[in-house]
Amino acid sequence: MKHMCLGFGVLLVLVLTCPLFAQLQTDQFFPDSTKGYVSISNVNEMRAHWRQTALGQTLLSDSFMEFRQSLLSGVEKGWMGRVGMSIRDTIDLASGEAAFGFVANPGQIPGFIVAIDVSNKKKEVDEFLSRMIRQAIEKKTGTSKKETLKIGSNSVPVTVMIFPPDNTYPAARTAYYVLTDKYLIAADQKELIQQVLSKPKSLASLKSYSATMQRCSADSGAAGMPQIRFFVQPLELGKAIMLLAQSGSRTAPKADASGETPFDILANHGLGAIEGVGGTVDFAVDNMEFVTRTKVYAPNGLSGVNMLTFIDDLKLTVPDWVEGDVNSATVANIDLLNLFNRIGPLFDDFVKTDNLWEDTLKGLEEDEGGPKVNLKTQLVGNLGSQITTFRRVRDGKEAFVGGIEVKPGKDAEIADVFHRMFDSDRDFQQIPYGSGTIWYYAPQPKRQGRTRRTQAAQPAAQPTFVKNAFYVGDGNIFFATDIDALKETIENKRGGSVAPLSEKPTYRKVSSYIQKFSGTGHSFQFYSSNHNGLRTNYELFRTGKLLEGNTLISRILQRVYPDKNVKIPVLENGSKLPPFETFEGQMGASGAFGKNEPDGFFIKGFGLSAELLR
């Protein structure tokens, strides 16, 4: 009886297929209620391009085989997801496109859709569905059955899989599979299958979607389909994820009593002007390792996103105090005074207290015993627009350093604000430095009430995650996660003893491409020298010492896993990696920039091969 049900179910699905979507891309039948979407236009072609990149060749080499297999096995366990399809299934079944969508219809729990072009893969689909049905039947808590959906004049057979609870999904899951003449479509809700087959108003019909894709296509100049397309409606996606989390958890964040979510608050303060964010990713194109293009679509411009006002500059570059051996550097031009003016109402709405921000600012300026500072005029009003940050790893120690530009002649006034704010704050420590002061945040144990306990018995202060240190001088507010790195940056600026990043050939090459691509200027740019940034964490991972390291990743893991002897399965894969030197020569550099446009913002990123940098 079991085998009869199995054979009958497969027969219905594979023989009685419906003639839908013969020549369509998935964005033409995914519904317009799709809040998040990713499509690989042709899985096999994308894999071929990936193999042409230096990173792809490295990871696919024999020296990475054991690590690759171990990592893939771990990823697969978390990938099976809500429709039971593995990464390997997706790759093996796809003869063309593979797409994934997160759909949120009004009044329904959000759900997932997967669509794979399986043209000329009848045998593989047959074997896949047979295996899925067999696995469901063999598990006592899993089942498989057939249903028929009526779509217009068509009767469409559906294979239904019910997966038992497991460690990842504590509740049983149901997946629905339909095979058309071109696509295998899976969803975690029957209503989504019905919606797709009913040829709804599609994702491609959304102006926000088409505008993002057209902008990226115009930049590429290529007639063909990009290898990867993605699109999100950011605030709607956030609300949908929140709703989905609430449906399966009592502790998930919820809307307030008025039904307002944090995403509604953001929309009310200008971010609702962003109707969509979409883009493309291509590997091994235009003599580059990769090219990414992203369009932030705001049809009325980003002026509606009041707190995020970027300022384009034709000559934007890193300042001379950024050292040449840094791993990455970012420079951005932002109207900080505008940001300060707009953040107050947003803060009040989040904490649900009218005028709290203004009252706090007024208290800082007028309260007896307070610092007597006007943050708007004495601090923010004296700042320029350029913010620079960089990441440096030296001798196994990672530091993030940055600087906020100060208007000429305003260093002393800002330093005075810092003295007033922090001199009497016991959680901020001071180090005299030259003619100024370095402040760093070091929380002290909370004062106890009346007690007979000795000071030695008081609870020790918890170690800080990073020592946030800052210094005002030399035309900047310098800040860093490491005091020594902060001092060195200041000394380099004053002494000019170290060649700056702006003179490094690799940076100059990346910067030349940024200038070429941006044309009329841009408001932020990013640079990364990939091999320097990877080396330390890679070797810590390979030698099993990531929990003992002094990098940001190590510190995060130390917080999550305070016991250094804990066994973390993913970290155990590191012993299978080859030494970094075996592929270091293949690593290149990458860059990105962003610029204002009348209908939003455009961001382009790219990777340069080591060969192109020589």
DSSP 236-266: HHHHHHHHHHHHH-SSS----TTS--HHHHH
Segment 325-334 mean pLDDT: 94
Short-list 532, 533, 514, 516, CA closest to 524: 514
Is the pLDDT at 348 greater than 60, yes or no? yes
Residue 285 lies in a domain: no
Measured between alpha carbons, how far is 86 from 42 in angstroms, rounded to an integer?
18
Segment 360-380 mean pLDDT: 92
pLDDT, tens only, 480-502: 998 999 999 998 888 776 789 99
Residue 98 lies in a domain: yes
Q: Which of 158-167, 329-338, 562-571 is predicted most confidently? A: 329-338
| Confidence category of residue 3, pLDDT binned at 50, 70, 90 | very low
Residue 409 lies in a domain: yes
| Confidence category of residue 395, pLDDT binned at 50, 70, 90 | confident
Length of the chain: 614
Measured between alpha carbons, how far is 446 from 440 in angstroms, rounded to an integer?
18
Is the pLDDT at 460 greater than 60, yes or no? no
**Which of these ranges, 160-164, 352-356, 592-596, has the smallest mean pLDDT?**
160-164
pLDDT at 33: 96
pLDDT at 98: 95
Segment 367-392 mean pLDDT: 94
For residue 7, give the amino acid letter: G
Averaged pLDDT score across all residues of the chain: 84
Yes or no: say if 172 and 86 are a contact pair by the CB < 8 Å rule. no
* Matching residue, tokens 């023989």: 15
Query: Read out DSSP for 406-451?
Result: E-TT-HHHHHHHHHHHHTT-TTEEEEEETTEEEEEE-PPPPPP-S-
CB atoms within 10 A of CB 601: 22
Residue 427 lies in a domain: yes
Short-list 222, 330, 302, CA closest to 602: 302
Is the pLDDT at 433 greater than 70, yes or no? yes
Residue 467 lies in a domain: yes
Total domain count, the chain:
2
Give 522's contacts (C-beta < 8 A, 6+ positions apart): 312, 313, 316, 514, 593, 594, 595
Could you tell me the residue range of the domain that residue 342 belongs to? 332-446+460-500
- Please give the residue that has the higher pLDDT: either 360 or 302: 360
Q: Each residue of 265-292: b (16+ CB within 10 Å) or e?
A: bbbebbbbbbbbbbbbbbbbbeebbbbb
Short-list 95, 133, 140, CA closest to 13: 133
Is the pLDDT at 291 greater than 90, yes or no? yes
Query: Read out DSSP for 261-321?
Result: -HHHHHHHTTGGG--EEEEEEEEEETTEEEEEEEEEE-TT-GGGSTT--B--BTT----TT
* Structural domain ending residue among the three candidates 171, 202, 233: 202
156 by DSSP, 3-state: which? strand
Segment 280-304 mean pLDDT: 90
Calculate what percentage of the chain has a pLDDT beyond 90: 45
Residue 85 lies in a domain: yes
Is the pLDDT at 80 greater than 60, yes or no? no
Short-list 26, 28, 29, CA closest to 39: 26
pLDDT at 131: 83
Yes or no: say if 39 and 46 are a contact pair by the CB < 8 Å rule. no
pLDDT at 17: 43
Prediction pTM value: 0.87
Measured between alpha carbons, how far is 270 from 308 in angstroms, rounded to an integer?
9
pLDDT at 168: 63
Q: Which of 77-86, 148-157, 299-308 is predicted most confidently? A: 148-157
pLDDT at 483: 92
Residue 8 lies in a domain: yes
Residue 489 lies in a domain: yes
**Which of these ranges, 393-402, 462-471, 536-545, has the smallest mean pLDDT?**
462-471
Quote the strand ranges of 123-275, DSSP E: 143-151, 154-163, 173-179, 183-187, 228-232
Measured between alpha carbons, how far is 293 from 220 in angstroms, rounded to an integer?
8
Segment 443-465 mean pLDDT: 51
Yes or no: say if 111 and 241 are a contact pair by the CB < 8 Å rule. no
* Structural domain ending residue among the three candidates 145, 174, 202: 202
In terms of domains, do 13 and 155 share one?
Answer: yes
Give 321's contacts (C-beta < 8 A, 6+ positions apart): 403, 474, 476, 489, 490, 492, 493, 500
Compute CA distances 104 → 39, 234, 235, 535, whole Å: 18, 13, 12, 42
Measured between alpha carbons, how far is 150 from 261 in angstroms, rounded to an integer?
37
**Which of these ranges, 81-90, 227-236, 454-463, 525-534, has the smallest mean pLDDT?**
454-463
| Terminal Cα-to-Cα distance of the chain (whole angstroms) | 68
* Structural domain ending residue among the three candidates 169, 202, 235: 202
Segment 81-109 mean pLDDT: 88
| Confidence category of residue 4, pLDDT binned at 50, 70, 90 | very low
Short-list 12, 349, 333, CA closest to 148: 12
**Which of these ranges, 68-77, 453-462, 471-480, has the smallest mean pLDDT?**
453-462
pLDDT, tens only, 21-72: 556 799 999 999 999 999 999 999 999 999 999 888 888 888 888 777 777 7
Short-list 229, 19, 196, CA closest to 112: 196
Is the pLDDT at 414 greater than 50, yes or no? yes
Is the pLDDT at 254 greater than 70, yes or no? no
